[in-house]
Amino acid sequence: MRRFIVAALAALVTVPATAAAPQSITGRWATDDGKAIVDIYACGARLCGKVHKLLFTQPAGGQRDERNPDKAKRARHVSGLQIYWDLAADGAAWKGEGYSPEDGRYYKANLRAAGNKMTMKGCVSVFCKTVTWTRMSQ
């Protein structure tokens, strides 16, 4: 009887941890504003994200990271730019760091997928913005 109780308690402890794992966000995503496609991929034990392709007409020589607060980084191309790093599973979401080349801000990122949609909440201090991206077929 004691073994049964120990086994039942162990099952109760492990089931919620498994159930709370977030849905995978790896893959290719179209941004809500239609300006870019972003790849989310494994980088070590965590996830990262980079701009795969910009979907608007770019200036000659390509769109640059001109609003970056670090002047030394303003000449780098936005296409191929890493914009998420250190994303780790945290409950039902993926949390880590993000960067927006559109406004040059670094933020705390919280990404959560449901089916073919992903909500991305980015916060700078107490100010947050949430957008919804759509998974693209591979």
- pLDDT, one tens digit per residue, over 85-131 is 999 999 999 999 999 999 999 999 999 999 999 999 998 888 899 99
Q: 43: closest CA among 56, 58, 60, 26?
A: 26
Q: 24: closest CA among 43, 37, 40?
A: 40
Task: Tokens for 129, please give them.
Answer: 């913005």
What pLDDT, in 10s, does the model give residues 25-61?
A: 999 999 999 999 999 999 999 999 999 999 999 999 9
Which domain, by its residues, includes 90? Answer: 24-135
- Answer whether residue 6 is part of any domain: no
How many helices and strands (H and E) does the chain possess?
A: 1, 8
Q: Is the pLDDT of residue 15 over 50?
A: no
Average pLDDT over residues 75-85: 97
- Answer whether residue 72 is part of any domain: yes
- Answer whether residue 13 is part of any domain: no
What CA–CA distance (Å, rounded) separates 93 from 31? 18
- Answer whether residue 30 is part of any domain: yes
- Answer whether residue 109 is part of any domain: yes
- Answer whether residue 16 is part of any domain: no
Count of domains forming the chain: 1
What CA–CA distance (Å, rounded) separates 79 from 111? 21
Task: Tokens for 119, please give them.
Answer: 């909500």
Place of tokens 């300006």: 35
What CA–CA distance (Å, rounded) separates 125 from 138? 36
Domain of 61, CATH number, reads 2.40.128.520
